[in-house]
Homo-oligomer: A and B are copies of this chain.
């Protein structure tokens, strides 16, 4: 019961990932970096956290993946693309997130 951040992150990582994929296709490792850079490392996303999320999103058909050779050398990278179902779901998630956020904000300020 010590790690509050862990609890507060529930769901928001999915939300952030879907947001990034709404902007452009990306592979796993670059998602980790972009989440951490944009959030000033406050979300501190690790690979062991990301990949299970990606498989879950893919199972749910919210995203799709395809392998692609990198420019230059290196192993092929697994790119992810958001589906139309995923875009719709993202909008719903965003709505729910804002609702919860507004609610708790009112209580914390009241």
Decide: B38 and A106 in contact? CB cutoff 8 A. yes
Q: In the bound complex, what is the Cα–Cα distance between A8 and B105 (angstroms)?
A: 13
Contact: B43 with A104, CB < 8 Å?
A: yes
Q: Is the interface of A mostly helix, strand, loop or mixed?
A: helix
Segment from A64-72, A78-86, A95-103 that makes contact with B? A95-103
Partner of A92, one of B4, B7, B38: B4
Q: How many copies does the complex hold?
A: 2
A to B CB contacts below 8 Å, 16 in the list: A4-B92, A4-B93, A5-B99, A8-B10, A8-B100, A8-B101, A12-B104, A16-B107, A16-B108, A20-B107, A39-B104, A39-B107, A42-B99, A42-B102, A43-B103, A101-B101
- Residues of B within 8 Å of A12, CB to CB, are 8, 100, 104
Q: Determine if A40 is an interface residue (Cβ-Cβ < 8 Å).
A: yes
Are A35 and B107 in contact (CB-based, < 8 A)? yes
